Amino acid sequence: MQTSNLCQNCNCKVDFGIFDCSNRKIDPQFSPDDWQSLSTSEFDVKSVLLVSTGMKEVTQFPSMNVTLLDLSHNEIATIESKCFMNLTLLQVLDLSHNRLKSEALTPDIFVGHYSPNEYVPMKHLRVLRLSANELHSLNQDLFENLPSLEELSLDLNPFKVIDQQSEIAIASIDRLVSLDLSYMELEDIPKYLFHTPQRLQYLNLTGNLLQIVPPALTYAKGLKWLSVDENPISSIVVGTEFPSLKQLTFLSLSYMTQLRVIGRGAFSGLEALEEIHITNNPHLSFIHGHAFMRNDTDNPERFDWSPIKRLYLHNNNISYLDAQLLVQWDSMEVIDIRVNPWACDCSNRWVLLSLLPIIERTTPAILNNIDCNSPPQMAGLSMVDLEHKHTHMRCPDGAGNNPSNDGALLMGLLIGVLLAIPFTAAIWCVYKRGCFGLFGRGNSTAYSRAFYSRTTLNEEF
């Protein structure tokens, strides 16, 4: 097989159809003749990797059967019009981590191959990654030539606001399945952004400036996966709870430094939820016992719960866990409650008696770091050790005193009483027998005479 000139400087994996010239300085881009040498070498290129090559501009590619083109981690600021039109089979295009500005990203970049009547769209492109560029907005017609687009990544672009043009552009992708809007400094999500892309299943809102659960989620009816990690949401209560997302199976609420309260019905609309991550929230101290509970659809007088299988609650500030938070504890796959300041009193007795044995049976590897923080006499003790010792945790009395040491106190009192009885009897015995010093009964006559004076008969009367 004839070897291409490009393969002398880059890595050609012929058996896998991969042309990899990553980490090689190739600016300016290869000429059409250079690319042509790949075709004449009978090397059927499927994947072209030009990562970290120092490219600053992308010019039109020649005709190739490429399905994946990775141009990430370069310095690309300009893309030639109709740049990818000859890559008619292209499915994945990665332009992330470059220097693209909003003005440089125009609709004609994605124009497909020309026919006698019109430009044919890039009908096979499914994945477009635009992460970590310098985009503040999108041309409203940017995706008009990408009818098959399913996955769009806009993360790490300083949008701050999804303006009307950007909203129109995103909402126009009717086949959109996955959307990454993380780390874009967004304070709000446009209300109707998800109204058109009804196929949307994966949504990443991590690392933005959202202060409440976005009402726009109401229209994301088909959502299955959602992350709102690292947002300054302080509470999820009635009025700001998650909307009804009947197909959502995964939810993450982690690394939220402002989150303090998860109230009643916060997740009641998530009827299919199977896995939830509520972790590493340093101020989260309260999860309402009815956070997952809802009225049964068929019988409003009955209650139902989300079918959680994997619950992650590690590294928060939670002291108490309500036994009614979920009802299927014994059938769950993962229950992670590590690194929380647990109160080891009667309110958490069920954790000791019921929950820890389930964790020990299903995932013993995450039994460590489940320790008591209160009351003071229990601080630092392992709840697992207490469970193994069949310790009975007690509650504070009416005066607020914790009677955990009442047994020792009562034993001390009993010993004191037992010692006092013979001691008191001995004192009484000594007294009765006249052996009590000055007040003894052995010299009673002398005692009487010392204080007695005779009187005359007249004096007596």
Q: What would the DSSP string read from start to end of 107-143?
A: GGGG---B-SSSBPP-TT--EEE--SSB-S---TTTT
Beta strand ranges found along 300-356 (DSSP E): 303-305, 310-312, 334-336, 342-343
Strand ranges (E), 369-408: 372-374
* pLDDT computed for residue 426 by the predictor: 63
Cis peptide leading into residue 197 (ω within 30°): no
The pLDDT value given to residue 132: 98
Contact 246, 222 (CB under 8 A): no
CB 254 within 8 A of CB 262: no
Nearest-CA neighbor of 374 among 410, 398, 400, 355? 400
End-to-end CA distance of the chain: 156
Spell out the domains of the chain, with CATH numbers in brackets. Answer: 1-117+138-144 (3.80.10.10)
Q: How many residues does the chain have?
A: 461
Q: What pLDDT is attached to residue 27? A: 66
The tens place of each residue's pLDDT in the chain, 461 residues long, gives 455 678 888 999 988 999 999 999 886 778 877 887 776 667 889 999 999 999 999 999 988 899 999 999 999 999 999 999 999 999 999 999 999 999 999 999 999 876 666 667 899 999 999 999 999 999 999 999 999 999 999 999 999 999 999 999 999 999 999 999 999 999 999 999 999 999 999 999 999 999 999 999 999 999 999 999 999 999 999 999 999 999 999 999 999 999 999 999 999 999 999 999 999 999 999 999 999 999 877 777 788 999 999 999 999 999 999 999 999 999 999 999 999 999 999 999 999 999 999 999 999 999 999 999 999 999 999 999 999 988 878 776 554 555 545 545 445 555 655 666 666 666 656 556 655 444 444 444 443 333 333 343 333 32
Separation between Cα atoms, residue 313 and residue 280, nearest integer Å: 8
E-strand stretches of 157-201: 178-180
Burial class for 120, CB neighbours closer than 10 Å (0-12, 13-18, 19+): middle
| Cis peptide upstream of residue 28 (ω within 30 degrees of 0) | yes
Alpha-helical (H) ranges within 246-367 are: 349-350, 356-362
Q: Two tokens at 172? A: 């126009």
| Residue-level pLDDT at 32 | 77
Q: What pLDDT does residue 29 have?
A: 75
Q: Tokens standing for 216?
A: 């726009």
Query: Which of 197, 193, 196 shows the shortest CA–CA distance to 205?
Result: 193
CB neighbourhood size of 149 (10 A): 23
